C-alpha cells in the first residue's frame, strides 16, 4: 500500500511539474478549418509567469504554401523544435536533389504532423527529457481538404475537421469556438470568426494576449499573415 501511495505522489508531482513548465512562458494557439482554407491565430505575448517581457514570441514555422507548424510551451523548447524541424526539411530537400522552389515547399500537412509526432515521441528517451510544448499542425491538402492536428508533448495526435486549440487559454477558446464555429466558412468569414474566438479566449486568460498574428492558408494561394492588436481587459 505504501508503494502505491508513494508512486501516486511521485506521478502527481511530475504532472504538476510538466504543467508549470508548459505554462511558464504563457501563450495560446487557435487553428480553425474553413472551405479549402485554414486560419491559425497565435498570440505574440512572451512572459515569465505573470510578468510580460516582450511581444515578439516566435512560435510559427511556415512550411511552404500548404502547411504550417505552430507551437506553444516553454519558449526555449519552442525555438529548439522549430529549428530542428526546419533543419530536417532542408536536409530532406538536399537529399532529393534540391528540386523545387524551396526546402519547405514540398511537405504536406499530414506528413509534417507525422514527422513532428515522431520527433516528440523519440525525445522521451533523451537524457535531457522530453519537450515542454504542444504543437498544432494546420494546412490544406492537395485535394483542397483542410487539415488540423493538435499534439501533446509526447506526440499523441488529435485530428479535427473543425478547430484545435492549445495554450493557457485553451478552456476559454474551446467554449468560444463551440459557440461561434460554423463549417465550410469562406476565407473572409473564417478570419473574422477565428479572431472573435481568440479575443473571447484571451479576455479570460492573463498569461496570453497583447498582439496576435493571423495566418490564413487557402488552397489556391500561400499563407497570408495579418497582425492585429486585440482589445482586452487582460492584455
Highest-scoring range by mean pLDDT, 102-106, 132-136, 210-214:
132-136
Residue 120 inside a domain? The answer is yes
User: What range does the domain containing 40 cover?
Assistant: 24-229
Residue 99 scores a pLDDT above 70: no
Using 50, 70 and 90 to split pLDDT, how confident is the model at 15? very low
Residue 108 inside a domain? The answer is yes
Residue 109 to residue 235: CA distance in whole angstroms: 32
Residue 139 scores a pLDDT above 90: yes
Per-residue CA distances from 219 to 116, 145, 227, 231 (Å): 23, 8, 21, 31
Residue 8 inside a domain? The answer is no
Helix, strand or coil for residue 184? coil
Residue 24 to residue 72: CA distance in whole angstroms: 10
Using 50, 70 and 90 to split pLDDT, how confident is the model at 16? very low
- Lowest mean pLDDT, pick from 37-41, 75-79, 126-130, 148-152: 126-130
Using 50, 70 and 90 to split pLDDT, how confident is the model at 107? confident
Residue 89 belongs to domain with CATH number: 3.60.20.10
Using 50, 70 and 90 to split pLDDT, how confident is the model at 18? very low
Residue 116 inside a domain? The answer is yes
Listed in sequence order, the residues at least 6 apart from 226 whose beta carbon sits closer than 8 Å to its beta carbon are: 191, 213, 214, 216
Q: pTM to 2 decimals?
A: 0.84
Residue 161 inside a domain? The answer is yes
Residue 69 scores a pLDDT above 90: yes
Q: How many separate domains does the chain show?
A: 1
- Summarize pLDDT for 165-218 with one digit per residue, the tens: 999 999 999 999 999 999 999 999 999 999 999 999 988 887 777 788 899 999
Residue 2 inside a domain? The answer is no
Amino acid at each position: 500500500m505504501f508503494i502505491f501511495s508513494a508512486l501516486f505522489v511521485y506521478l502527481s508531482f511530475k504532472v504538476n511539474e510538466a504543467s508549470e513548465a508548459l505554462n511558464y512562458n504563457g501563450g495560446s494557439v487557435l487553428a480553425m478549418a474553413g472551405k479549402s482554407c485554414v486560419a491559425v491565430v497565435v498570440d505574440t505575448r512572451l512572459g515569465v509567469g505573470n510578468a510580460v517581457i516582450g511581444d515578439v514570441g516566435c512560435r510559427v514555422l511556415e512550411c511552404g504554401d500548404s502547411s504550417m507548424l505552430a507551437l506553444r510551451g516553454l519558449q526555449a523548447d519552442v525555438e529548439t523544435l522549430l529549428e530542428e524541424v526546419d533543419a530536417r526539411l532542408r536536409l530532406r530537400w538536399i537529399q532529393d536533389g534540391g528540386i523545387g522552389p524551396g526546402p519547405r515547399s514540398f511537405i504536406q500537412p499530414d506528413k509534417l504532423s507525422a514527422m513532428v509526432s515522431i520527433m516528440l515521441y523519440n525525445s522521451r528517451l533523451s537524457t535531457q527529457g522530453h519537450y515542454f510544448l504542444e504543437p498544432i499542425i494546420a494546412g490544406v491538402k492537395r485535394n483542397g481538404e483542410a487539415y488540423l492536428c493538435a499534439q501533446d508533448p509526447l506526440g499523441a495526435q488529435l485530428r479535427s475537421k473543425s478547430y484545435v486549440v492549445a495554450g493557457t487559454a485553451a478552456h476559454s477558446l474551446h467554449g468560444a469556438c463551440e459557440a461561434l464555429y460554423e463549417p465550410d466558412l469562406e476565407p473572409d468569414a473564417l478570419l473574422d470568426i477565428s479572431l472573435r474566438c481568440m479575443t473571447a479566449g484571451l479576455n479570460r486568460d492573463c498569461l496570453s494576449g497583447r498582439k496576435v498574428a493571423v495566418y490564413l492558408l487557402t488552397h489556391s494561394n500561400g499563407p497570408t499573415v495579418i497582425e492585429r492588436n486585440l482589445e482586452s481587459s487582460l492584455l
